Amino acid sequence: MRYQQIGRQDHVLEEGKPLYAQISGNWNSLFFKNENPITVELGCGGGEYTIGLARQFPHRNFAGLDVKGDRIWKGAGIVQDLGLKNAGFLRGTADFLERFFSPGEIAEIWIPFPDPRPKPGQEKRRLTHPRYLGKYRTLLKPDGLVHFKTDNPELFRFTLDVLKKYPVRDLFFTYDLYHSDLLAHHFGIQTKYEQQFLKEGFTINYLQFRFS
């Protein structure tokens, strides 16, 4: 039922739909049908950033990407109900991000509460591992911005360690977003996981950076 619904929605791309195979390099011309900058939310779940930012910034475009269709289904329904023309979803994995976007096509990336992948040997699957940073660097515009939020101290530490060794600039971070000067940078948006973690008493780590 959920899969059938997203299968009929033009603002959800997934394998088998005609646009899916042609979308790389064509998000502006074929999907959003404007020239506005594109923000991508990775592991978007219900797409709280995609939707929240699309409502706040009507002259920018937002694409949420998640491997799970049932998570996208929720956000896709909200986009439809709100009639948002600057938001859409892609069902796919960040592992193949370069199949979905062309170099320089993305203006900003949001990574809210990715799976921490805490076990030894899982480092390469963390969305802030250098394996992924290389993709982000290629696909972002030269001045492109990356935002990252997590409740997980180990994942945050891992990410800061990775970034120390990576050519990045304008790195700003906080271990406690809600008591930080950076608070305005999250645009007042809380994802489903963030709301759960806040209820459980976790503090929220946030960072942003650009590639050098």
Ligand X SMILES: C[S@@+](CC[C@H](N)C(=O)[O-])C[C@H]1O[C@@H](n2cnc3c(N)ncnc32)[C@H](O)[C@@H]1O
Binding site for ligand X (CB under 6 A): 42-45, 65-68, 71, 93-95, 112-115, 191-194
Active-site position among 10, 115, 170, 176? 115
The backbone torsions φ and ψ at residue 71, rounded to the nearest 5 degrees and listed phi first, read -75, -45
Q: Which residue type occupies 178?
A: Y
Residues in contact with 107: Cβ distance below 8 Å, sequence separation at least 6, in sequence order:
37, 38, 39, 60, 140, 141, 144, 145
Residues in contact with 157: Cβ distance below 8 Å, sequence separation at least 6, in sequence order:
none
Q: Which residue type occupies 130?
A: P
Toward ligand X, which CB reaches closer, 69 or 167?
A: 69
Written as six digits, the tokens of 148 are 């990252």
Toward ligand X, which CB reaches closer, 67 or 82?
A: 67
Toward ligand X, which CB reaches closer, 30 or 67?
A: 67
**CB 46, min distance to ligand X, A:** 6
What is the spatial distance between Cα 49 and Cα 192, in angstroms, rounded to a whole number? 10
**Residue 6 near residue 14 (C-beta atoms within 8 A):** yes
Q: Is 115 a catalytic residue?
A: yes
**CB 9, min distance to ligand X, A:** 18
**CB 94, min distance to ligand X, A:** 4
Toward ligand X, which CB reaches closer, 33 or 157?
A: 157
**CB 34, min distance to ligand X, A:** 25
Distance of CA 39 to the CA centre of its chain: 8
Please list the active-site residues: 115
